Chain A
Amino acid sequence: MFKFSLDWVRGLLGEESSLNSILDILCLQGFEVKTVEEINGDQVITIEVKANRPDILSHIGVAREITSFKEFADVSVFDISSYYEFDNTKPNNSEFPVSVKIEEGTCERFSAIMIEGIDNHAKTPNFIKKRLEIFGVNSINAIVDISNYVMLEMGQPTHIYDLDKISNGEIFVQKAKKEEVFLTLTGKSFEVKVGDITIRDNLGVICMAGIIGSQRVEVDEDSKKIMIESAVFEKTAVRVASKRSKISTPASFRFERGVNAKASLDAARILAKKIVETCGGKICGIFDYKCKGLFKENKIRIRVPRVNLVLGTYLIKSEITKYIAKYGFVCCNDSGDALEVLAPHFRLDIDSEIDVIEEVARGFGYNRIEPTNLLADTAYRKNEVYSALDTIRNIMVGVGADEVITYSFIQSNAMEVLGILPKDKAYGDVFLQNPISSSYSLMRPTLVVSLLQTLSYNYSMGNYDLILFELGRTYVRDQNYDTGYKETDVLGVIISGNKINKGWGIKDDLKFDFYDLNDLINIIYNEFGQDFSVLPGEFLFLNNEKSALFSSICHGFEINVEGKYSGFFGEINKKIFSEIVPNVKLIKDDIFYCEIFIESIKENKKQLKFESKFPLILRMYNLNCPKDVSASRITDVIKNSADFVRNIKIKDVYGSEEKDNHALLFEVSYRLSSRTLTTKEIEDTEHIFLDKLNKELGVSVKL
Chain B
Amino acid sequence: MKDLSNKADEKKQEFLKMFELLKSEKDLRKLEILFKSFLKDLYSELKFFDLNEKKTNGKIINDFKNAMQLEFSSAYEKFGLESETRRHDPSIIRSGIKFGSVHPLIKLYKKMEKIFLNMGFSVVQGPEIELDCYNFEKLNMPPHHPARDMQDTFYISSPEVLLRSHTSCVQIRTMESIKPPFQIISPGTVYRVDDIDPQHTPMFYQVEGLVISENASFANLKSILIKLLREIFGREIGVRFRPSYYPYTEPSAAIDMSCIKCDGQGCQTCSGAGWITVLGSGMVHYKVLREAGIDSERYIGFAFGLGLNRLALLYYDLNEIRKIYENDVSIWRQL
Contact = CB atoms under 8 A, between A and B. Distances in A.
Contacts of A461: 328, 330
A354 B211 contact: no
Given A362-B251, A402-B101, A435-B154, A373 B325 contact: no
Contact of B328 (A407, A408, A458): A458
Contacts of A380: 120, 122
Interface string A17-34: 000000000011110100
Contacts of A381: 122, 124, 178, 182
B99 A483 contact: no
28 contacts: A236-B144, A239-B146, A311-B219, A312-B219, A312-B220, A352-B286, A354-B285, A355-B250, A366-B242, A372-B220, A378-B122, A378-B181, A383-B123, A396-B100, A397-B100, A397-B102, A402-B101, A403-B100, A404-B103, A405-B103, A406-B327, A433-B156, A443-B156, A457-B326, A463-B328, A468-B327, A483-B130, A487-B127
B157 interface: yes
Contacts of A467: 100
Contacts of B147: 50-51
Interface in B267-302: 277, 283, 285-286, 300
Nearest to A35: B271
Given A361-B251, A436-B194, A483 B127 contact: yes
B183 interface: yes
Contact of B224 (A51, A367, A374, A504): A374
Contacts of B252: 358
A310 B217 contact: yes
Contacts of A616: none
Given A51-B145, A240-B144, A407-B325, A400 B182 contact: no
B296 to A, nearest CB: 9
A313 B219 contact: yes
B123 A403 contact: no
A30 B282 CA distance: 13
Contact of B193 (A434, A458, A473): A434
B216 interface: yes
Question: Considering residues A236, A372, A398, which has the most beta carbons from chain B within 10 angstroms of its beta carbon?
Answer: A372
Given A30-B244, A32-B254, A375-B215, 17 more contacts: A50-B147, A50-B244, A52-B247, A239-B144, A311-B217, A311-B251, A352-B286, A354-B285, A358-B252, A372-B220, A372-B223, A397-B101, A402-B100, A408-B128, A433-B158, A483-B129, A483-B161
A402 to B, nearest CB: 4
A256 interface: yes
B131 interface: yes
Contacts of B211: 374, 376, 378
Given A374-B220, A377-B181, A475-B129, A432 B156 contact: yes
Interface residues of B, number: 86
A432 B333 contact: no
B96 interface: yes
Contacts of A404: 103, 327, 329, 332
A509 B98 CA distance: 16
A458 B102 contact: no
A380 B178 CA distance: 12
Nearest to A386: B123
A457 B328 contact: yes
A369 interface: yes
B67 interface: no
Interface size band for A: 35 or more
B324 A405 contact: yes
B251 A400 contact: no
B219 to A, nearest CB: 3
A431 B218 contact: no
A354 B286 contact: yes
Contacts of B161: 483-485
A563 interface: no
A28 B256 CA distance: 11
A408 B189 contact: yes
B205 to A, nearest CB: 8
Interface in A223-262: 235-236, 239-240, 256-257
A608 interface: no
A378 B120 contact: yes
A466 interface: yes
A399 interface: yes
Nearest to A435: B154
B40 interface: no
Nearest to B283: A310
A397 to B, nearest CB: 4
A405 B105 contact: yes
Interface in A602-659: none
B219 A369 contact: yes
A104 interface: no
A561 B251 CA distance: 50
Interface in B313-327: 324-327
Given A393-B106, A432-B156, A443-B156, A466 B329 contact: yes
Contact of A487 (B129, B244, B300): B129
B220 to A, nearest CB: 4
Contacts of A361: 218, 243, 251
A375 B220 CA distance: 9
Contact of B329 (A362, A375, A402): A402
B241 interface: yes
Contact of A52 (B123, B149, B157, B245): B245
Contacts of A32: 254, 277
A539 B5 CA distance: 73
Contacts of B119: 374
A367 B240 contact: yes
Interface string B105-130: 11000000000000110111101111
Contact of A500 (B96, B146, B285, B327): B96
Nearest to A239: B144
B16 interface: no
Contacts of B205: 405
A592 B215 CA distance: 54
A379 interface: yes
Contacts of B106: 393, 403, 405
Interface in B211-233: 211, 213, 215-220, 222-224, 226
Contacts of A482: 131
B196 interface: yes
A286 interface: no
Interface string A578-617: 0000000000000000000000000000000000000000
